[in-house]
A and B are shown apart, each in its own frame.
Chain A
Amino acid sequence: AQSVSQHNHHVILSEAASLELGCNYSYGGTVNLFWYVQYPGQHLQLLLKYFSGDPLVKGIKGFEAEFIKSKFSFNLRKPSVQWSDTAEYFCAGSYSSASKIIFGSGTRLSIRP
C-alpha cells in the first residue's frame, strides 16, 4: 500500500545544531513529495516540494530535502536550526497528480534556546 513514514516522533536540538528529519515512502509509481510545517497554533505551511528534476530541493527558511530514489527517502535538512524552528513537521506524498496526499505521522521538533 502507498504510505509515508516518519520514524522520529520527537527531536530535541540546541540552537545552531544541524537537523535531519527522516521520511520514507513506499513504492507505488511516480510520487510527488512534500514537507509541511505546522507552527504552534498555526495552520500547515508548505516548506518545499519535489516533483521531478534535481533531487536536491531547496525550500523556504533555509530548509532543503534530498530525494533518494534508491532508498525511497526524502529527508529534510537544515544546517543550523533556530529556536523559531520549533514546530511539527510533516512529510507527505502524492502518487499521481489526481490523487490524495498521504501524510506521515509527523515529527515534533523542539529547539532549546
Chain B
Amino acid sequence: GAVVSQHPSRVICKSGTSVKIECRSLDFQATTMFWYRQFPKQSLMLMATSNEGSKATYEQGVEKDKFLINHASLTLSTLTVTSAHPEDSSFYICSARGGADSYEQYFGPGTRLTVT
C-alpha cells in the first residue's frame, strides 16, 4: 500500500523559534496533502489542505501566518510552525491523497512537537 512518512518524529524547541515538519509520499504522487493536529485523547482536527503548486486552504480558526504550508512537489509538503509557543505543543499528522484511488487518504506516523 501507499506509504507516507514524516520527519522528524519528535521535536523539542524553545518558545519563539520556528519548526519545520516534512511529509513525504514515498511510492505515489500526492496531488493533495492534509495537515491535522491531534491533542491528547482527542480526535484529529484538520488544519489545512494543500494542493501541489497552489496555496493551502486553511480551516476556520487556523492562523495561516503561524502555520506555513508549502506543497512544492507531488511528493513533499512541509508545515512550519513559526514563533512557536507552548500551546502549539501537539501531535501533527499529515495525510496524502493521489494515485489510483483518489478517495482514500494515507496517513503519516505523526510528529510530536513540544515547545518549552
**Residues of A near any B CB (own CB < 8 A):** 32, 34, 36, 42-46, 49, 51, 90, 94, 97, 100-106, 108
Contacts and interface: CB of A to CB of B under 8 A. Distances in A.
B26 to A, nearest CB: 14
A42 B109 CA distance: 7
Nearest to B6: A43
Contact of A51 (B46, B103, B110): B103
A100 B103 contact: no
A100 B110 CA distance: 18
Interface string B93-116: 101000000111101111000000
Interface residues of B, number: 18
Contacts of A46: 104
Contacts, number: 40
A43 B103 contact: no
B54 interface: no
Contacts of A51: 103
B44 interface: yes
A97 B102 CA distance: 7
Given A43-B93, A43-B107, A43-B110, A103 B44 contact: yes
A25 B77 CA distance: 30
Contacts of A106: 42-43
Given A43-B93, A94-B103, A108 B41 contact: yes
Contacts of A105: 42-43
Nearest to B46: A100
A104 B42 CA distance: 10
Contacts of A36: 107
